């Protein structure tokens, strides 16, 4: 298949509507800016590092704008030379990347100019990352409402995340918000060694994921609250989810305990960290209860600990949340896992998806 070279003239500033024509995207902002959020698929080739940006800013404040521009120009020139020698070394003659910075200003213009002088067809994103961010914020007020959701409900440990993964494996459309937020959505939901993304990065990933869905097919999503760890869900998505049809996963308590033990092995290896995580529950359950749970963790009695946590804290809390936030929960279709391995959940996913699609066809 022949690559279709975009028809814009080299050096042109393009708008967001033209972005699909430019899958290769260069973000020239500093690594710290890039880490907060960036365009999907972008590679970070900073023309000023974090430390260099600070140097230029300090010089601007303490000396003059002229001195700051002189230093900045020298640093940018050196960094662009390195970019050309490394990242660009094997690029073909018809390479056509889009280059952007914070607002489509001098940083991206500098690299785009050099690339075009060499003979490539580099474009500059008009308005830079700031334009992209405004687009994400605006789109998330309306795009979530374009889809028909099926909310997967169930008590803690019922296997909702495993069912979502199985549905995805079986070809269903799945919006896994906990995967995007990198958090299991509870007091104990932090993922070891995998910090949550920034709010902006989460929203970019969310919009990108929604953009892959077909509005004519159902989208499965878990019954999340307003926040997943530190991440807040957009109001438009919450509104659409809370008015959606529900599926309830009714998993026997013994399987729930086994599943939670399987998924929270890091607490088994480090019971002291689990005890620390339980401290916020002291105002709810009292010091004696929390001390008893911490002692069970230290003794390795996780079956008893998990069973008590479910009965005393998680199940009542989840029940109240369902009544408050998902009014169609009472009429939910029910499915019951009989094992916690993925083959069992994939079989359940096939059965569930067939029933859901049949109900959607009848409704249509």
Which residues are the active-site residues? 101
Q: At what angle do helices 106-118 and 65-85 cross, to 10 degrees?
A: 40
Q: Is 176 helix (H, G, I), strand (E, B) or coil?
A: coil
User: What does the angle CA 74 – CA 75 – CA 76 come to, to the nearest 5 degrees?
Assistant: 95
Strand (E) or helix (H) holding 227: strand 227-228
State the Cα–Cα distance between residues 224 and 37, nearest whole angstrom.
23
User: How many C-beta atoms surround the C-beta of residue 67 within 10 A?
Assistant: 13
Q: Work out whether strand 227-228 and strand 231-232 pair parallel, antiparallel, or are unpaired.
A: antiparallel
State the Cα–Cα distance between residues 166 and 179, nearest whole angstrom.
14
| Positive/negative CA dihedral, 159, 162, 168, 170 | negative
Q: Which of 104, 264, 279 is nearest to 184 (CA)?
A: 264
DSSP letters spanning 57-99: HHHHHHT-HHHHHHHHHHHHHHHHHHHHHTTTTT--TT---EE
Distances (CA, A) of 68 to 29, 49, 108: 17, 15, 18
CA 339 from chain centre, in angstroms, equals 29
Q: Work out whether strand 149-153 and strand 173-175 pair parallel, antiparallel, or are unpaired.
A: unpaired
State the Cα–Cα distance between residues 197 and 37, nearest whole angstrom.
9
């Amino acid at each position: 298949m022949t690559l279709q070279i975009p028809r814009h003239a080299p050096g042109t500033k393009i708008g967001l509507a033209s972005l699909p024509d430019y899958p290769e995207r260069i973000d020239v902002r500093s690594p710290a800016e890039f880490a907060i959020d960036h365009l999907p698929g972008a590679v970070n080739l900073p023309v000023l590092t974090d430390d260099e940006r600070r140097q230029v800013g300090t010089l601007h404040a303490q000396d003059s704008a002229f001195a700051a521009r002189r230093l900045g120009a020298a640093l940018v020139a050196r960094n662009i030379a390195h970019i050309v020698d490394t990242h660009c070394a094997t690029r073909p003659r018809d390479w056509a990347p889009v280059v952007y910075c914070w607002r489509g200003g001098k940083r991206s213009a500098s690299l785009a100019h050099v690339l075009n002088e060499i003979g490539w067809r580099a474009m500059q994103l008009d308005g830079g990352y700031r334009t992209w961010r405004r687009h994400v914020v605006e789109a998330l007020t309306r795009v979530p409402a374009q889809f028909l959701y099926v909310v997967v409900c169930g008590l803690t440990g019922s296997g909702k995340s495993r069912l979502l993964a199985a549905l995805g494996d079986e070809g269903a459309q799945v919006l896994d918000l906990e995967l995007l937020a990198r958090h299991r959505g509870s007091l104990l939901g932090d993922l070891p060694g995998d910090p949550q993304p920034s709010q902006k990065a989460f929203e970019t990933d969310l919009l990108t994921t929604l953009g892959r869905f077909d509005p004519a097919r159902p989208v499965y999503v878990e019954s999340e609250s307003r926040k997943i760890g530190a991440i807040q869900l957009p109001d438009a998505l919450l509104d659409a989810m809370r008015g959606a049809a529900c599926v309830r996963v009714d998993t026997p308590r013994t399987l729930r305990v086994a599943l939670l033990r399987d998924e929270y092995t890091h607490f088994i290896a480090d019971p002291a960290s689990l005890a620390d995580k339980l401290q916020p529950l002291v105002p709810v359950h009292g010091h004696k209860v929390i001390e008893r749970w911490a002692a069970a963790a230290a003794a390795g009695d996780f079956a008893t600990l998990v069973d008590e946590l479910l009965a005393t804290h998680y199940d009542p809390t989840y029940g109240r949340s369902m009544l408050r936030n998902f009014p169609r929960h009472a009429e939910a279709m029910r499915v019951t896992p009989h094992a916690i391995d993925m083959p069992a959940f994939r079989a359940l996913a096939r059965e569930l998806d067939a029933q859901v699609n049949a109900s959607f066809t009848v409704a249509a």
